[in-house]
Amino acid sequence: MKKVQLLILLLVAGSMMYGREYQVSTGGNNAGTVPEVKETPDRIDSLLSRLRNLSDDYVFVVSHRGDWRNAPENSLQAVERCIAMGVDMVEIDIRLTRDSIPVLMHDASIDRTTDGKGKVADYTLEELRRFRLKDGLGTTLALQQIPTLEEVMTLCRDRVLVNVDKADEYMDKVRRVLKSTGTARQVVYKGSRPYRQVRERYGTLLDSILYMPMILSERDDMDAYINDFIEHYHPVAFEISYRSTSSPIYMQIGKLKQAGCRVWTNSLWPSNNAGHDDERAVLDPAANWGWIVEQGTNIIQTDRPRELLDYLKQAGRR
């Protein structure tokens, strides 16, 4: 653990060469100084309590792959920026190296986000350390390496909730890391399988974790899918995606809220939210992020965390 903590300090220190306040710009409106958020020992307790409580107007902000507009996506720096600005949850993607080490990488290959080529699964961790991550403009950052899940969770401990994507296939290895870093309670898992399959796959573990069902495309078993989860598990939230307000998925929002579940909507792309995405929201926050909230959403995953936080505070939703 001491070695991991030392490596994190070195990597974040390397990031600071671009400015102590992470003044790394890739052309987005998030560029510039990120104000430090005061952290308290009970921050995770507070967030978890709020996540389960629908009695207030608080809207959770989830940052997609960290603050990737101003730091390499899925990097320590991207995560640290989110923590500093006060994001509630950071979404990260998990892949497994050839020597079975969970690392952060969205794609199966490293081509898009590093100066290397090939699949993550074809490299050992030591071999992957040779490569450097790229920022949003595709520029190689010499001091940014692919982080391990252990490094990221050590950084996040007691500071922010974490949504792990693509972790389903490596559950045993992910859980081992979470236990060793003392961060198991901070993590939200998700997937699209029906309840019975999830229960069979996770067993009794399902009762001790936060699992979020996803409805990202229309399904023939929509009612049964939702009803089974609500009746047998009662998840804290459902992640939904709808192309229009005539979508059968959109029409489930009222049912989910009535059942006492939070509704997670992605503002990433127009197809997620009936055309009320981040890029439109930057120009007109109320007509886009505000519209998403008005439909019943109380968790938003965004690629514009700084602007969304500012808007929600001004709107009295935080």
- DSSP secondary structure of 52-111: T--SS---EEEEETTTTTSS-TTSHHHHHHHHHHT-SEEEEEEEE-TT--EEE-SSSBST
**What's the pTM value of the predicted model, to 2 decimals?**
0.88
Distance between CA atoms of residues 26 and 204, nearest Å: 44
pLDDT of residue 141: 80
pLDDT digit string, tens, across residues 39-69: 555 899 999 999 999 888 999 999 999 999 9
Whether pLDDT at 247 is above 90: yes
CB 147 within 8 A of CB 105: no
- DSSP secondary structure of the chain: -HHHHHHHHHHHHHHGGG-TT----SSSTT-S--PPPPP-TTHHHHHHHHHT--SS---EEEEETTTTTSS-TTSHHHHHHHHHHT-SEEEEEEEE-TT--EEE-SSSBSTTTBS--SBGGGS-HHHHTTS-BB-TTS-B-TT--PPBHHHHHHHHTTT-EEEEES-GGGHHHHHHHHHHHT-GGGEEEEE-S-HHHHHHHHGGGGGGSEEEEEE-S--TTHHHHHHHHHHHT--SEEEE-BSSTTSTTGGGHHHHHHTT-EEEEE-SSGGGBTS--HHHHHH-HHHHHHHHHHTT--EEEES-HHHHHHHHHHTT--
Query: How would you classify the pairing of strands 60-64 and 89-96?
Result: parallel
Share of the chain above pLDDT 70, in %: 87
Residue 38's pLDDT band, with cuts at 50, 70 and 90, is low
Whether pLDDT at 73 is above 90: yes
Q: Which of 183, 188, 102, 79 is nearest to 149 (CA)?
A: 102
pLDDT digit string, tens, across residues 140-194: 787 899 999 999 999 999 999 999 999 888 999 999 999 999 999 999 999 999 9
pLDDT of residue 21: 34
Please give the average per-residue pLDDT across 195-212, as a whole number: 96
* pLDDT mean across residues, the chain: 89
**126-149 core/surface letters (b: 16 or more CB in 10 A; e: else):** eebeebbbbbbeeeebebbbbbbb
Distance between CA atoms of residues 204 and 74, nearest Å: 30
